[in-house]
Each structure stands twice: as C-alpha cells, then as structure tokens.
A and B are shown apart, each in its own frame.
Chain A
C-alpha cells in the first residue's frame, strides 16, 4: 500500500511540475529562484504528503505548498536584506525566461511584498476568484480583497509611470 501511494505521489508531482514552475516563476520573478522553490516544494510534498487527507486534493494542496515556499523564500530574502547579513543581490527578471520580457510588469510585481504578490498572481494569472484565493491561502476573503485592492493601486501607479516612460 505504501509503495502504491508513493508511486502515485511521484506521478502527481511529475504532472504538476510545469505548472508549479510557472507559478513559482511568476511569484519569484527569477528562473533560478523559481527552480529552487519548486525543488523545495517537491521535497516537502514528498515528505509531508501524509498530512494530505484527501488525495484528490493534491493539486491545490501542492500549489499551496509552492506558494508558501515562494512566500517564505521572499520573506527570508527581505528579512535578510533588512538584517544586512551578507546579502544576495535581489532577483530580477531573467532574460532566459520563456515568456516575453515585460520589464515594467516585473518591476510592478517586484514592488509588492510576498503576500501581496502571491494574491495578485493567483487572481490575475491563475484566474482564481477572491473566495478561491482565500480558501487556497487560508485567509479571510476580506483580507484577500484588501490585498488585491492595495496591490492594484500600487501596481497601477508603477505601471503608469514605467509604461509612460517607454
């Protein structure tokens, strides 16, 4: 039974890899960071899958793990920047990314903190509703809406300034 379960888990992880990578790239805005986050998420899913009580919910659960890993890595990066311990250069849009380069969009996303960026990505790239995002992240719907509102306002200011310069 355990073997079967692990086989299924490996298969599920493999199936989710592409989507997990794209999600991580949208949040981390950096190919290398996205790959590291996905690798961490896969390890967590591999080791912690016993905590998933309904196997049919693997996909949203794994997506939540990816989001949480990304948020955690971004928070650590932010905290480390504040603490001024041997800093790693902030990630920037990677020119090797398969999607078309949109520096202004990347800049607007990068100006958001981890929590706000994750909500924006889920709403405007994953096309989830506020209720679905709340369920995915374990937040009240009001908090999701508040974060979306704040993020949109900030992104709009950034995009209008940068698009206007182009």
Chain B
C-alpha cells in the first residue's frame, strides 16, 4: 500500500469512527449549568458592565428554555454526579486551593544556601509545614526556588517562592495569569541571575496569545516580554537561556529579547530535548525520515555561548533520538527512545555535550522499563542542576519496595542515598511523591504533603 492509499484509508476510518455522535443531554445540561453558575464573573476584567450579570442570567435562561437547553436544576443521577467545569479529573485535583495573598517576604525564613559540592551519602528527611503539597515543578536559580503546585478548584496551579527550599510563601493567584481559566506553567529555567517561566492558556484571542514567557530577577515580580516562539522547553545558566519547540531554537543573553538560532546540519531537524550546565548548552533531536530520503537519525548540538552551535558526535542508531537530557557537573545523561524498535530505550552519556555514546551499563540505577510497544521509559525520573544528577523512582514496576534515590555527577557512576529521618518512609512511598534536586538536599512532594531531605555527607 503506498502512502496515498494509506492516507485515503485512514481518512475513511476516521470518518467512520468519529462522524457520528452528539452531545448527550447530560452534557448539554452540564454546560447550561456551567454557564449559569458563571454568569456572574469572578473577575471583573471580563465584563464591561458589572450590572449586566443578572440580566445575562435572565437572558440566558430565556434563551435556554426557548432553544431546548436544560437550565433547570439537575434532575436525575447523571447530572448530579457530573463533574463541574473546573474539576480536573485526576491528580491535578490535589490538596486544598490556597487563597491568593500578597506575599510577605519579611516573614519568609531562610537564605539561599550555597550549592553543595560535597559528596552526598544520605538524606535526613523531615516534613515541611506551610509548604505546598503536590508540587509539580521546582525551578532553581541563584535567587532561590519557584515551585508550581497543583490545587483543586478554578485555579489549577499556584506559584510559591522560597529562598532555602524549606520555608515557602505563596505568590498572588494572579501570578503568570494563573487565575485565568486553564492557564498553566509549561516550563521554567534559570537565566543569568534571574529566572524565566513559560505559561500556556488555551483561549487567547489569537494562537500567538496562548503562550507567554515571564522573567523575574527576584522570583516575586514578573514581566512578560514578547517572544515569537512557543517554548515547550527552557534551559539556562549564567550566560542566558535557550528556548525550544519543534519550530526551532532561540537564545537570549538578557532574558528578555530572543534571537533565532540556525543549527548546523541537515535542514528540518527537530529538537526534542535541551539542557544547560554551567559551561555548555546542548540540544538534541532527530533528522531525516522524509519519504525517499534518509531514515530518521539522531542528532545533537552543543554551544559554549548559546549563539554559536556545533553538531555533536552521536551514536548511529537509526530511528532513535534523545527525548530528555540532564546535566551534572561531570557530564550529561540523556534518555533515547527508539521509533524503530517498540519499547526500546537507551541511556546515553556525554562528558561535555560534544560527544555522546550509549552508556556501557546502558541502564539507569533503577532500570529502563520496556513496554514492548511505543516508547520505553526509565523506572526513575532524572534531574540535573549542572552540578549533580539525580534519579528517583522504584526499581520494581509494581512498586513493591520503597522508592530509591541515586546521585551522580557524570551519569556513569551512581550512588544510592541512605534515607533517615521522621519523614523518610512517607517521602519514599512508591507512587506517592515526586523528588526535586535542591542546592543542599532533595525536596519530596505529593498529594499528602511535602518533605525536605537534608543532604548528609
């Protein structure tokens, strides 16, 4: 079957599968209720005439009745059981929604600790009070930490600031416009002595309005300079930052103005992953695979300054490319997935980003999980801060033993950390927490709380 024939068949199958179907009465009812509940705006910016809310409600009720929209109170179990518009099925529906408040930095304890360069052997884990639960992302920069936490309610994410990773304050709900419906944070990174964060909303006036890139020098006051790229990946260091999506790579030296980067090598290469250590920026992806052209090949680049890029030497593994890169002080580690062999992954390492090879052990300390189809995955999540690398997870797929955390500087030699302290058991419960690499320890967070593991030499 040639390409055209396959496309025609796919077209017919898609229509056969999805042409039929109508919104159920229950959905119509839910929508009507949703609009009615939100007839009075929560945020005045969306309304030109505040007094119009009641009139709108009446008008909508009339319209709904006339047009068959069910606007009456929920009748029957299907509507009463239906989730609300702002409910988020699944784990983002986390602990408690935290009220917005102006941050009081004076009440924030702690100072930015120096980056620990000692060899860690263990963690002394204790629960944090006043810290957000269900942290989904921590962005580390020289001024401290910014954390994104999931909450349940009309605002699905909240932003927190900390100097030491132990004492946290919540930033106002309007930070990044997260009080707008379905706004969320997609990436973050250090940039020079400040920090940048990319956010996303599904409903801008134009497609370009959907994404913003924010900058802060202190972690609490943010500006959103214009960027003509939709950054799904960010990485930075003291020289600046790079932003990437499938359309290409951008670099900024001042964290506000961005310049497009022309990467050497085959045209049309796609960037899948980026990273930065103190001395190098790296990017990786794939090229080729056009009809009649060369088969898909991995490709990678490196740059010392973010502006002049050189193609790196990579393993010749057709159909495989890096999907994530993390940087330690003594090297980088990358996870490569195969598009040619279902469920196959390799672990790549590089001392400097200039030459990559498949790791001789070709497995992270927790093992690579082959799924047999699609993409393989590591049993642990990698992270790197340019000084050390961390992998956190469970060596058993079913999570029958406590989680483990391993540390490395080069991605080749790994050491498992011993766990002690009153919070150790809870923090290492399989499937319950995420781990974030901090300057002087590890932050654990899950639906049930947040813990800090002080690194012990």
Which residues on A are within 8 Å of B, measured CB to CB?
Answer: 2-3, 6-7, 10-11, 13-14, 17-18, 20-22, 25-26, 32-33, 35-36, 38-48, 50-53, 64-65, 67-69, 71-73, 75-77, 79-80, 82-88, 97-100, 102, 105-106, 111, 115, 121, 124-125, 127, 136-140, 142-143, 146-147, 149-150, 152-156, 158-159
CA distance in complex: A22, B18 (Å): 6
Q: Judging by beta carbons under 8 Å apart, are A48 and B203 in contact? A: yes
With a cutoff of 8 Å between Cβ atoms, the chain B residues found around residue A48 in the complex are 46, 180-181, 203
The answer to whether A143 touches B246, judged by C-beta atoms less than 8 angstroms apart, is yes
Number of B residues, CB within 8 Å of A: 88
Within 8 Å by CB of A85, from B13, B41, B134, B247, lies B134
Indicate if the CB atoms of B22 and A138 lie closer than 8 Å.
Answer: no
- Measured CB to CB, the nearest residue on chain B to A104 is B13
Q: How far is the CB of B405 from chain A (nearest CB, A)?
A: 13
Assuming the A-B contacts A51-B203, A82-B381, are A88 and B182 also in contact, with contact meaning beta carbons closer than 8 angstroms in the complex? no
- CB neighbours of A150 from chain B (8 A): 289
Residue of A nearest to B52 (CB): A2
Q: Are A39 and B27 in contact, with the CB atoms below 8 A?
A: yes
Query: Which residues on B are within 8 Å of A, measured CB to CB?
Result: 3, 6-7, 10-11, 13-24, 26-28, 30-31, 34-35, 38, 41, 46-49, 52, 55-56, 59-60, 63-64, 67, 69, 82-83, 85-92, 94, 134, 136, 150, 180-182, 184, 186, 200-210, 230, 246-247, 268, 270, 289-291, 339, 373-374, 381, 393, 431-434, 446-447
Q: Which residue of B lies closest to A42 (CB)?
A: B31
**28 A-B pairs (CB sep. < 8 Å):** A7-B60, A10-B35, A22-B18, A25-B18, A33-B89, A35-B24, A38-B27, A43-B38, A43-B85, A43-B86, A43-B181, A48-B203, A50-B46, A68-B202, A72-B182, A72-B200, A75-B186, A83-B434, A85-B431, A85-B434, A87-B90, A99-B17, A102-B16, A105-B14, A111-B374, A115-B246, A138-B210, A152-B3
Q: Kindly list the 9 A-B residue pairs having the minimum CB-CB distance in the complex, ordered from nearest.
A: A138-B207, A68-B202, A88-B90, A51-B205, A98-B21, A125-B14, A2-B52, A17-B23, A43-B85
- Cβ of A42 to closest chain B Cβ, rounded Å: 5
A115 to B88, CA, bound (A): 20
Decide: A6 and B14 in contact? CB cutoff 8 A: no
